[in-house]
Amino acid sequence: MGCLSRVGCLAVVAVGGIIAWSMYGDRVPADLTRSAQRAGTALSEQVRKGAKSLRSPKSADDARARPIAWTSLDDAPTGDVDALRQLSRRDGPAFVTLTAPQLASLLIAGLERELPRSATRAQIAISGDELLVRAVVELRDFAGTGAIGALIGSTLNARDTVQLGGTLDVVRPGLAQFRVRDVRLKGIDLPTRLIPTVLQSFKRATAKDSIADNAIPLPLPTAIADVRVMNGRVTLYRAVP
């Protein structure tokens, strides 16, 4: 009985094949080929999309390669920043986010005091999780500091751009420190061990608080309890009354 069933099924398939060939002729292989090509194309597209979604996130080096939007301290808004006024209110928000010009307005007084007297065209920017500060300075500001003086060489009468990059941390209400993690001078990234020497060479203010040797003290409104620089944004958190 099983054998007869299998023979019957084969007969049905054979008859179906004969009918299909008589109706469509040589179009059947062509149609199958086109269907296979369309299926293959669709599968390739899905594989491509899947591979794209599995790509690893861009590295920090890729983020640094993006164009940086610099804000001049000369263009910083004067007077109280509206976001800070909100933070100072008793019923104000728990945190506010600053734009680059607003951050420049917040830091301008401290940076102008801490940068070398010869500094001009000072600018700030946010790149990823770093605060960047740069200015054109007299290279003689760094003379006589051993390895740095050797790096500058005989160009002491020249001017060049110094760029600092690092984090911004609150030390206590009213005071923050710009902890410098990298310094670029004459287009060269200086070794980390030389950063305290660079900062010491042009520090003018003496902080009473315990400031790290690789940091610059910066005054902040007492309403600010914490500062976070992350993903290109600066967030200020309100101090609890």
Distance, in Å, from the CA atom of 180 to the CA atom of 168, rounded to the nearest integer, reads: 9
Mean pLDDT by 10 residues, the chain (241 residues): 46 48 49 50 50 44 67 73 77 86 87 88 92 90 66 69 94 92 88 87 66 91 89 87 67
Would the CA dihedral through 158, 119, 72, 107 be positive or negative? positive
Q: Which 3-state string (H, E, C) describes 131-147?
A: EEEEEEEEHHHHCCCCH
Distance, in Å, from the CA atom of 122 to the CA atom of 75, rounded to the nearest integer, reads: 10
The pLDDT, as a whole number, for residue 205 is 57
The pLDDT, as a whole number, for residue 178 is 95
Domain boundaries, the chain: 2-53, 63-238
Sheet holding 233-238, edge to edge: 95-98, 233-238, 224-230
The pLDDT, as a whole number, for residue 117 is 85
Q: Roughly what angle, to the nearest 10 degrees, separates helices 27-53 and 2-24? A: 100
Distance, in Å, from the CA atom of 193 to the CA atom of 227, rounded to the nearest integer, reads: 26
Please indicate, yes or no, whether the overall pTM of this predicted structure exceeds 0.85: no
The pLDDT, as a whole number, for residue 106 is 87
Cα distance between the two ends of the chain: 92
The pLDDT, as a whole number, for residue 5 is 47
Distance, in Å, from the CA atom of 21 to the CA atom of 28, rounded to the nearest integer, reads: 7
